[in-house]
Amino acid sequence: KPTQQLEPKTRQQLWEEQQLESAVKASGDVDAIHVAGSRQYEFVFDDDALIDFTGDDENTLPEVESAYDQKLLDELDREQTRLQSIQDTRRSLPVYRFREPLLSAIKEHQVLIVVGETGSGKTTQLPQYLVEEGYTKSGTLQIACTQPRRVAATSVASRVADEMNVVLGKEVGYSIRFDDKTTPDKTILKYMTDGMLLREFMTDPELKKYACIIIDEAHERTLATDVLLGLLKDILPHRKDLKLLISSATMNAAKFADFFYDAPIFNVPGRRFPVDIHYTLQPEANYLNASITTIFQIHTTQQVPGDILVFLTGQEEIEAAKQNLEEIAHVLGSKVRPLIIAPIYANLPQEQQSKIFEPTPEGCRKVVLATNIAETSLTINGIKFVIDPGFVKENSFVPSTGMSQLLTVPCSRASVDQRAGRAGRVGPGKCFRIFTKWSYFHELELLPKPEILRTNLSQVVLLLFSLGVTDLIDFPLLDKPSIPALSKALENLYLLGALNSKGSITRLGRMMCEFPCEPDFGKVMHTAATHDSCKGVLEEVVSIIAMLHETSSIFIQERANHDSSKSSIAGKVFSDHVLYLETYNRWKDMNYSRSWCFDHKVQYKTMIRVRNIRDQLWRCCDKLGLVALNDQASHTLNGSSNLEPRIIKCFISGFPKNIAKLGTSGYHTMGVQQGGVNVSVHPTSTVFQSLRKDMVKPSKFILYQKLVLTSKEFMRDCIPIAREEWLNEMVPHYFKAKDPQ
Ligand code: CDP
Ligand code: MG
């Protein structure tokens, strides 16, 4: 009998129930049934009671039984309707009409470029067609579909699992860094980030387990996609049976065709309704405020239904806008219809992502606050209005200074056109651009700049070296990076010890490739296990690195008071790295408890992810033999006192270029030939707090993990370097040459 009432059952559970029911009917006699998994009903029966779900069992209360039966039937009905409507939706997508011609084109050509409007079904349908067509050879081969963004990979995988009526992680799965939801020998369709497929070349250089590779969203031109295309071009002649599909929004298609020796382009005509474009008359200084005003203007003057999509640049901006909107909506109260605010950005915890796809209840309006992830990778139904300030956050690397920054820059014309198109999927729409018409025609670039031309290439160069590609000049690429960018990468890898003076990859370099993180972190972990002056701190360093991967969402910030959540843990901690370590260790000591997180204003879900990342890094260290080396070393470490200097040294070894020196006018970066750049400690940093409270004197050197440019150049995640000689000790060939300062 029902013991407790919980959420509605999943399809898997319903299916299990049906199976069970028929099994019971068939056998006619069962002792006890404990339905597997996280079931909401638990059946426990007397030893020799006969179970019969048809209702004439004397041990079960008839009213309970029939209520239960009815509920089950209702649910099955609903489920039936749902499945039917999913199949109807599938058939209504633009690609559906081209299923047969697409499949024959794929059969005929090894490489096919598929172009179509966003929302036409490329990402969700193409892989399914390939599965249906038998390309997976009864499950012995796989189909991979790459995505530039993690969120797209996970959300599309879950949608497709739904459409195929399977459980996510079994036949259909996803694989993104630090999170692999696939089952070996079972998964036939895998959505993955382009970076993950790139890594697979290390273990399977000809990608033998795949029958088809779909490089999706190729127009995004991420670094990983570009390098993948190069590597694929190399292996295609040896893998005649491998099918390569490159799918892209309308921009750029010809370039891909050229690259693959005139591969055919298959156009999927999309349906698109007209979108009215509105510009501001004057340039807007504060686009965030302007966007919020526009949201309320739309909300109060336009009829529902019709949801709003706003393009912002990142998590902080989105969260700020969300809070602002909620406050205003609260003040307006019942004077306006309810607004449902749904954020979406890369770091948004998965469980909160589905909100953007939920149908908007009648009489309400949904406002989706998105990064440019909603430009082409995700299709959100029901959008009628787009608000576009026309900015995007981009990584930008300046080879001459060796510095990487996240910069907010104007979008390209192609991007803002894509964004506008999002308003015209369900019917005629409107797009409000928070910039002038003049700026559209005179200031915006035509196309976005491919990432390979604006990013630090160290990691990719190292990966290519490990795959035996050393001739970087001749390696096939859609756009060649500049020579200075390449030499900077080589120089950096040499500095880290990943390449030797002859330019070949070292054992350390190969190790760094194995880690699922930037080579610099790999070096830090290697140092922590092996370097004479600081070994034995691998445990600590791995925890810090895991935390550094999630810094944006560890501490719950109160708006007015940046440090409130940290201060209870911070105590006498004067660096962010040690604060992260303390936080992790104290949580661990409390048995990874949820309530500890709550008490200390730490995000529990983020910490669970950190723990998962930490476990993976640790396993990797173990596999590479670093754990064993570290164990030997830590025996000789007396007690755990004074670990900090060792930790600092490890980070110096991995990030020698991220060091700033205190001068007369504040901190100044060192990793540059001429001058350097003035930088300040970010106000959210523990270092900033302790300086402000005069708890410590500013140290002469400081190591930072990230530079962000907002009102000025800020250093994030900082650790003061107590002694100058550590620099020389850890990276002599770099700092000796730089001296004397
Ligand atoms: O890749 P493309 O932009 O061509 O389209 P898609 O991502 O395959 O989306 C096809 C359809 O699936 C869209 O109409 C979406 O509404 C729907 N979809 C969805 O409802 N939920 C998702 N998580 C993904 C797609
Ligand atoms: Mg797509």
Q: What is the mean pLDDT of the chain?
A: 86
Give Dmax over CA atoms of the chain in angstroms. 93
pLDDT digits (tens, 9 = 90+) for 455-508: 889 999 999 999 999 888 899 999 999 998 899 899 999 999 999 999 899 999
**Mean per-residue pLDDT, 558-581:** 70
Q: Cβ neighbours of residue 640 under 8 Å, at least 6 residues apart?
A: none
Taking the CA atoms of 44, 46, 52 and 58 in sequence, report the sign of the dihedral they define: negative
**In the prediction, which pLDDT does 712 show?**
83
Q: pTM score, two decimals?
A: 0.82
Residue 33 has pLDDT above 90, yes or no: no
CA of 90 from ligand 1 middle (Å) equals 9
pLDDT band at 565 (very low <50, low <70, confident <90, very high): low
**In the prediction, which pLDDT does 37 show?**
34
pLDDT digits (tens, 9 = 90+) for 263-306: 999 999 877 889 999 999 999 889 999 999 999 999 999 887 89
Q: What is the CA radius of gyration of the chain?
A: 28
Q: Which of 124, 164, 377, 422 to mutate to test the pocket of ligand 1 (most atoms within 8 A of CB)?
A: 124
With a 6 Å cutoff on the Cβ, whether 122 touches ligand 1 is yes
With a 6 Å cutoff on the Cβ, whether 526 touches ligand 1 is no
Q: Which ligand is nearest to the CA of 216?
A: 2
pLDDT band at 69 (very low <50, low <70, confident <90, very high): confident
Task: Look at residue 704 and give its three-state secondary structure.
Answer: strand
With a 6 Å cutoff on the Cβ, whether 154 touches ligand 1 is no
Give CA 273 to chain center in angstroms: 31
CA of 193 from ligand 2 middle (Å) equals 13
Residue 49's identity, in one-letter code, is A
101 cis-preceded (ω within 30 degrees of 0)? no
**In the prediction, which pLDDT does 351 show?**
76
**Mean per-residue pLDDT, 682-711:** 85
Residue 525 has pLDDT above 90, yes or no: yes
Q: Cβ neighbours of residue 334 under 8 Å, at least 6 residues apart?
A: none
CA of 379 from ligand 1 middle (Å) equals 5
What are the structure tokens assigned to 364, written together? 């309400």
Residue 397 has pLDDT above 90, yes or no: no
**In the prediction, which pLDDT does 68 show?**
75
Instruction: State the closest ligand 1 atom to the C-alpha of 121, by its place in the atom list counted from 1.
Output: 8
- End-to-end, the C-alpha distance of the chain in Å comes to 79
> What percent of the chain is predicted at pLDDT more than 90?
60
Nearest to 618 by CA among 719, 516, 533, 520: 516
Q: Which of 271, 379, 381 to mutate to test the pocket of ligand 1 (most atoms within 8 A of CB)?
A: 379
Ligand 1, atom 17: closest residue by C-alpha: 379
**In the prediction, which pLDDT does 30 show?**
38
Residue 1 has pLDDT above 50, yes or no: no
**In the prediction, which pLDDT does 590 show?**
94
**Mean per-residue pLDDT, 536-562:** 82
**Mean per-residue pLDDT, 200-211:** 94
Task: Look at residue 592 and give its three-state secondary structure.
Answer: coil
Residue 70 has pLDDT above 90, yes or no: no
Element (H, E) at 339: strand 339-344
ipTM of the shown complex: 0.98
With a 6 Å cutoff on the Cβ, whether 536 touches ligand 1 is no
Element (H, E) at 253: helix 253-259
**In the prediction, which pLDDT does 672 show?**
55
CA of 151 from ligand 2 middle (Å) equals 12
pLDDT digits (tens, 9 = 90+) for 35-52: 333 333 333 333 333 333
**Mean per-residue pLDDT, 117-122:** 89
